[in-house]
Amino acid sequence: MQNIIIDPKYLMDGVVKKEQNSDTSLFHFPKAGSGFWIPQAVGCKEQYLSFQVKVLEEHSVPMHLLVYTGEEKPALEVRFGLLPQVRTQVCLDFEWFAAKELFPEHTPGMLKIVCHGRRVSKDEITKIALSPLPSFHDIKLEIGSMVLSEQYPDQISLSEEKLVDCFGQAKWKEWENKTTSLDNLKEKLQEQAGKKEEGYPFADWSIYGGWKEKKLKEGTGYFSKQKESGKWWLVDPLGYAYFSVGPDCVGAGNDCRVDGVEQWLDWLPEKEDAVYGKMFSGRMNAKAKRSPVMFSYTKANLYKAFGKDWYETWKSMICGQLKKYGMNTLGNWSDPALFGTRNIPYVTSLPEFPSTKETIFRDFPDVFSEEYKEQAEHCAQALKEAKDDPWMIGYFLRNEPAWAFVDNLMLADEVLYNPVKTVCKEKLVGFLKERYKEIEKLNISWNCSLKDFESLYEPKKDVSKYSEAAKEDMREFSRQMLRAYIGIPSEACRRVDKNHMILGMRWAWISNPDLVAGWENFDVFSINCYAVDPTKNLQRVADLGVDLPVMIGEFHFGALDAGLPATGLEGVKSQKDRGTAYQYYVESVAAHPNGVGCHYFQCYDQFVLGRFDGENYNIGLFDICSIPYPDMLKKVKECSSRMYAVADKRIEKTQEKAEKIPMIAY
């Protein structure tokens, strides 16, 4: 074990260090964002970097470990979150530098960890730095007991104070509409439930939430698409223009991760409890060092308010609330019990996307194998049950493939780097044999000296960098892989369900222009887009040659003036600003020629100590007690009353923008 003392000469500009005691130092980081270098971590034999940290702020702090390989910008960033006001132990694993994992496991008390960037080998690392992300003010942290070790920490040391009340809310904060007692909870929820489930508040909306002022074609009985005068629309089953808005994750599950942090909770029932024991769940992971345990405070709060019939009451209440505010879609990951039963349209996903035992990189399958085709047929069978449901808009094939988080990833490079003799590798070698015929011609074109084509089965790193010809060869084969990746499951799904639209892949972003390869298999192209204005992202899809309607699967805005200590991926100043930002975003989608809908992530706030992966964002339409955020939902309804007129160019989109703050997210 190697103890690390941060020498002042390794501090970046503006950082102030004050010794607290022999183990702990106070670091003051300027608003612009800065940190310190850890030269001991470069070239070390140890695997883990561990340290104790306490955030001396009222909100969470996102930090990152930055790994440099000689370039001005880091090649890899390991981002992670820290809770405020409590001592936490951080453990970072240098095995993550291989980029095999996108979301590594976090230790108890930490928040989400994400690895952004390309694979980095230890021998190419030149610098490593630790730094908070830029904030809207200076950041103060106490850091101590920093060590490099070959072993994972035997014990994780955490503070002892209580952080969470019996309703799952932060104890250390006060805010407007915070639930203060059981009677207060019952009063607020029973008032909401007492309002009968009604239809949409707009007379010109159909029963599906389509726009009766614009009939695009005769109804088919199912949702479809239509292009008119250069503008794409969705079409409801009656033939009316349809723009899709609504929240993702409409469900009372709202997983709150509690394993390892039980001492921070005022109340957690026994797993054997006859009522609350059913509200526990787990997400098993063979690689995990601990078994994840989740508890739903949202379900528990609903039970406390409504008793044993809470679930039926909730289903009626939530659908009535969404319609009341002009939301016409249940977004992805919503409770299937609501599908086709509450007279509100929905989208869904394949429960499982086809995979193979051997993968190329992260979760990218061996797409040319028979195994992939068989898995595609198997996964498509899940569509049978709802294939005749008129309330289903369509289905996504999957969400945010982990392999696509690396910008400009060359899939064919990964085929040749992977030591396994996959079917993709056999196809790639065959592709090159057919193109070059003789190894000497390939060597000249690639500027290399391979002995024969068979030597391509031995691992080769970054082949696309050999020459421009090698780059083009790798890119062409990568596109072939992408077309198979998308086309094979799409065709299998069409054979099972001919009635519903395929809504695409929900790419996290277009990390590579070639991601649009295979778009012809879709009815709708989908991306997730966290931004103030999505117009540029929508236009990029169109500029890449995709002539389809585009649906945004995720966006959100969060603030720090309610019960959560993190904003999510787009930060604004207040709850009122969240509503303003929502309206500007949705009307921007509606105004774009390809925009046909956007789904807000998510229905409920996340848990203050983190969901299954450690996210703890103020991004809900409702809080963990199912209490609505009135300032935001007022804007949601106003936006819904205008969005069809904006889409049809009868009125201009709103120009009112929210006051932004830097995101607090991981």
**Contact in structure between 353 and 397 (CB atoms under 8 Å):** yes
Q: CA dihedral in degrees (204, 206, 209, 211; nearest 10)?
A: -50
Summarize the confidence of residues 121-137 as an average pLDDT.
96
DSSP 330: B
Read off the amino acid at residue 490. S
Quick one: pLDDT at residue 159?
86
Quick one: pLDDT at residue 160?
86
Residue 283 has pLDDT above 80, yes or no: no
In tens, the pLDDT along 79-107 reads 999 999 999 999 999 999 999 999 999 99
In tens, the pLDDT along 213-245 reads 999 999 999 999 999 999 999 999 999 999 999
Residue 286 has pLDDT above 70, yes or no: no
Summarize the confidence of residues 368-375 as an average pLDDT.
98
Read off the amino acid at residue 325. Y
363-387 per-residue burial string, b: 16 or more CB within 10 A, e: under 16: ebbbbbbebbbebbbebbebbeebe
Domains defined for the chain, CATH in brackets: 2-149 (2.60.120.430), 182-331+522-661 (3.20.20.80), 359-388+401-495 (no CATH)
Quick one: pLDDT at residue 284?
63
H helix intervals, 497-571: 535-543
Name 7's Cβ contacts closer than 8 Å, sequence gap at least 6.
Answer: none
**Contact in structure between 600 and 659 (CB atoms under 8 Å):** no
Name 167's Cβ contacts closer than 8 Å, sequence gap at least 6.
Answer: 179, 185, 297, 301, 624, 625
CA 196, 199, 205 angle in degrees (round to 5)? 165
Q: Which helix (H) or strand (E) holds 313?
A: helix 310-324
Evaluate the omega torsion of the peptide bond into residue 602 and state whether it is cis, within 30 degrees of 0.
Answer: yes
Distance, CA of 233 to CA of 593 (rounded, Å): 9
Quick one: pLDDT at residue 285?
66
Distance, CA of 233 to CA of 236 (rounded, Å): 10
β-pairing verdict for 595-600 and 550-552: parallel
> Shortest CA distance to 400 belongs to which of 312, 510, 324?
510
Q: Which two tokens stand for residue 429?
A: 């070698």
Range from 151-155, 262-266, 337-341 carrying the lowest mean pLDDT: 151-155
Q: If pLDDT is split at 50, 70 and 90, which confidence band does 523 have?
A: very high
In tens, the pLDDT along 27-43 reads 999 998 899 999 999 99
Q: Is 349 helix (H, G, I), strand (E, B) or coil?
A: strand
pTM attached to this predicted model = 0.97
| CB-side neighbour CA atoms (13 Å) of 2 | 17
